[in-house]
Amino acid sequence: MSAFRPIRVFDQRMPLGGAETRMPNDVPVTFNAVVSPDLAAALESHIFGTASSLLETRASDVSPQDIASHVINIAACAVARAARASNARAKINTLPPELLSFVFQFLSLSSRIKASLVCSRWREVALDAPQLWTDIIVSKPALVDAMLSRSQAVPISVSFSPPQGCAYGDNALELLLDHCVGAHAARIRVLSLDDIGCDTLKVLGHQLPVLERLRILSMDTNWYAAPHMLLRSPLLKELVVRLSPDLLESFGDIEQMVSTCPQLRRLYIDASSLHVRLTIPTSLMQLLPCLEEVRLVGRASDIDKHLPVLYGCSQVSVDALEHSSYSYGQYALPFPAFGIVPALLSGMGPIEELQFMAGELPSGDYNSERLRFRSGTRTRGLLSFVSDVDFGLIRDQLDAVTYLAFNAVHWGSAIIGHLPCLPSVRTLVWVIPNEILLSSSPVLRWVLPSLECLCVGTPDPTAPAFDSYTQYTPNYNYDQVELEACIGYATSAASRALNNLILVNIGIRDIDDDRAVERALSRFAAHVEVRRDLRWDGLSV
């Protein structure tokens, strides 16, 4: 047997055969659990010795079955003690409780529950950290009750989305939601209600004094009379709402809905439902003096006439749907979505920053992309159908653009056709889409005579890129001749060499050292830098 050092872990009297039965002469028995490299052999020897001692000294009224049961208890206790001693030496258990609970915050809810069952210390840490149990999804009653209890008195987030096939007004989950919100309204900080009917809207009748974020995605049910109510959330800072007849019947209109929320800073309104027309009150900015960001989703013809109300807001973005109605899949196109841009940019002044980014409309149309404009502290954004682009409407406003970010896949020729030259651009951020060849990007046809900084890269370090032979290449490494040609095309219109060339998540094939890559491209810029393994949003340099 391997050598080991016994560690005394407990001393106590052990009853045999019943609560009142004692060992002969009432002599206390001491059991030593051991921890060693050969734990199994150590436990076997310890339990065998204890059993032999019991057999030699047992009283006449103690049966062998009682002794066997007692030995099993000794074994279980020894194993548990040994496991706790072993766990205590694990490096992760040397962390203080507040740091271990911080690590648990990065786990999903199901993983947090599993972590709380790993060992007694992890369970103690998990149950003593109420912030781990604040994201409550209304689903199983037992789980909801447990999380409400474990979250103690800290602010909570409540989410509700009825399962598919659930009949509105006849669902136990709605009763559970009403109980959850009603009993804990004083500490709900975030409330999310997805795909709900008018019956579920009743939970908003509770006073929610600390609510900061509210999301209401209402369905067009029209089954019952919608309840009339007033939103009582004086600290509300973000409101996301999908308009429906039920919702409008309950709150009257947007003005009545937000009139009691003076702290509101972000307002997102989805009016894409065919049964709802968007109406923004002219007094919106007076009602909401703290309003900073507005996002509107709906028909461009509806949004266009309401934009002047929002000119005082620092951030406005529009997801413009072209169709005003449809029947059996047939679309009507009375108002081109891109036609909203002149009104969107009215009063902004010269555009300093222009971004072309991939996007998807709420209708699920992938053939759409996003524009973002910045002038001083104001930004405007548009998500539109590709087929509708007409940069000729705003050509004169773009001559002052100094920062250009581009990762659009579809617009390509339409952009270059209307914007062949951007004379003031000094920084170009070029995000390479994985779907196309490097040499086929429309960026290569842009004329940028003032270019000083070029940033080229891919946003995701884990996705594959294509080389000139349409084969996958590891680590985003391109053929050196191809990469140099593309960078050369992009910089050929510059009157002088670049100040900065930055490669994000890409490099040169067969050159493993990033410093060697930088030296190989040094003729293009005074400073060359390679950045690897970054989750890059494609906007910041």
Name the residue ranges covered by the structural domains of the chain. Answer: 10-89
Give the model confidence (pLDDT) of 280-335 as tens digits.
888 888 889 999 999 998 888 788 888 888 888 999 998 877 644 333 334 444 45
In the chain, % of residues over pLDDT 90: 16
**Within 350-411, where are the H helices?**
none
What's the whole-model pTM score?
0.72
Q: What's the confidence (pLDDT) of residue 54? A: 64
- d(CA 173, CA 83) in angstroms, rounded, equals 41
pLDDT at 78 over 60: yes
User: 344: closest CA among 386, 376, 372?
Assistant: 372
Q: Which of 57-61, 253-257, 500-504 has the highest mean pLDDT?
A: 500-504
- d(CA 417, CA 396) in angstroms, rounded, equals 15
Q: What's the confidence (pLDDT) of residue 126? A: 92
**Within 363-422, where are the H helices?**
412-418
| 209 pLDDT tier (thresholds 50, 70, 90) | very high
User: 37: closest CA among 85, 87, 8, 3?
Assistant: 3
| 480 pLDDT tier (thresholds 50, 70, 90) | confident
What is the DSSP secondary structure assignment for residue 398, as one 8-state letter? G
Q: Which of 176-180, 462-466, 516-520 has the highest mean pLDDT?
A: 516-520
* Residue 402: partners with Cβ closer than 8 Å, 6 or more residues away: 352, 353, 424, 425, 426, 427
pLDDT at 190 over 90: yes
Lowest mean pLDDT among 195-204, 266-275, 356-365, 366-375: 356-365
Average pLDDT, the chain: 75
Q: What's the confidence (pLDDT) of residue 59? A: 55
- d(CA 436, CA 468) in angstroms, rounded, equals 10
- d(CA 517, CA 500) in angstroms, rounded, equals 14
Q: What 3 state SS string does 55-112 have?
A: HHHCCCCCCHHHHHHHHHHHHHHHHHHHHHHHHHHCHHHHCCHHHHHHHHCCCCHHHH
Give the model confidence (pLDDT) of 522-532 as tens digits.
988 899 999 88
Lowest mean pLDDT among 6-10, 214-218, 236-240, 393-397: 6-10
Tokens of 408: 């659009």
Tokens of 451: 């270019």
Who wins on pLDDT, 61 or 306?
306
| 482 pLDDT tier (thresholds 50, 70, 90) | confident
Q: Residue 1 in contact with residue 45, Cβ under 8 Å? A: yes
What is the DSSP secondary structure assignment for residue 407, as one 8-state letter? -
Q: Render 23-62 in DSSP notation, one character per residue.
A: -GGG---EE--B--TTHHHHHHHHHHHHHHHHHHH--TT-
